[in-house]
Structures are given as C-alpha cells and as structure tokens.
Amino acid sequence: MYICLALKYIGCNFILQEYRLLPIYFEYDFFMRSKKTKNNIIIITLLVTLFSIYNIFIYTSDNKPIPVKLNPEASLGLQIWQDNNCWSCHQVYGLGGYLGPDLTNIYSHPDKGESYIKAFLNNGVKTMPKFNFTEKEKDAIVAYLKHIDSTGYYPNYGARFKYSGWVEIKNKHEE
C-alpha cells in the first residue's frame, strides 16, 4: 500500500494502472479519509476493553461478602420470620415492607431488646397481628434478630464507596 502511495506521489500513476494496483490505492485512500470512523472504532474498543477489565476485576476479586452461617436457633427464627411474613411489614437492612419499623438493630437498641421484642409477638399492636408463638419460637425469633443485629448497623452512616464498586461497612464484630 505504501508503495502505491509513493508511486502516486511521484506521479507514476501509469504504473498503478499497468499493474492493476489502483483499487488497492483507493481502499487505502478511503481508510485514511474516514478518520472519524477510525477514531470512533478506537474509542469504542477502548471502552469495551476497560469495561471488560473492570468486570474481570470485580468478579474475580475475593472481596465478596463471606456467607453468613446462622446457629440452629437463629435458623429456626429465620424460618418463623419467613413463615409468618414478618418481612411483608418489617425491614432488615432497609429491605422489606414499610408498615412496621426496621428491625435490624432492635436487639441492641438501648430502650428495646429481648423482652421488648417478645412483648410484641403475642400481643399485637395497632396494625401488627397478634401471633401465638410458644416460648421456644419467641426465643428463636429473638436469636434471629440478635444475629441480624450483630452483623452491622442500619442505617449505616459510616458506609464508604470503594473504587472497585464495593461498599465498605464497619461490621459490629470488628469493633
């Protein structure tokens, strides 16, 4: 191609014609002229590459949250929590229904805690239904809420966004 260009430059068009090299030259000429297209391709390639690198970094970094293991009592509590649709009215870490309050930190709340939680369960108030739990079930719910409470704070005002896209929160057991 450069040879074609050089020949054209020195005015030897006839050589190009003679050896049927003109189409090659025109192709090259077209490529040179559409610089904008070329730039777009470069930009798109760059963005796709950066996006891929970012994704590889995110999905292979071992920053992933450690799966939480509940003790048997807390597992039972979670089961009761799900069976009775507590989450349709209550939130944990802000997720759930909004009729009742968030229960993430109710266990360690200075004015609330274990007996306060238990008092609600079989009595019901205003819009909260009256349940009929056994003492064991109540303990299980408390164990579950205690576990939730031990994992962190909600709302967590100390949360910090990291460059990798993960959110860094201070866990209670790290204090």
Report helix, strand or coil for 130: coil
**What is the token pair recorded at 7?**
């020949």
Span from 9-17, 24-32, 63-71, 120-128 in contact with ligand HEC (CB under 6 A):
120-128
Measured CA to CA, the distance from residue 83 to residue 65 in angstroms comes to 26
Interface with ligand HEC includes 88 (CB under 6 A)? yes
Interface with ligand HEC includes 138 (CB under 6 A)? no
Q: What is the smallest separation between the CB atom of 115 and ligand HEC, expressed in angstroms? A: 11
Q: Three-class SS string for 60-101?
A: HCCCCCCCCCCCHHHHHHHHHHHHCCHHHCCEECCEECCCCC
Q: What is the smallest separation between the CB atom of 132 and ligand HEC, expressed in angstroms? A: 11
Q: What is the smallest separation between the CB atom of 68 and ligand HEC, expressed in angstroms? A: 19
Residues forming beta bridges with residue 91, ordered by sequence position: 96, 102
Using CB under 6 A, pick the residue from 16, 92, 141, 143 that binds ligand HEC.
Answer: 141
Q: What is the smallest separation between the CB atom of 78 and ligand HEC, expressed in angstroms? A: 11
Q: Are 152 and 51 in contact (CB under 8 A)?
A: no
Footprint of ligand HEC (CB under 6 A): 81, 84-86, 88-90, 99-101, 103, 106, 112, 117, 120-121, 125-129, 131, 141
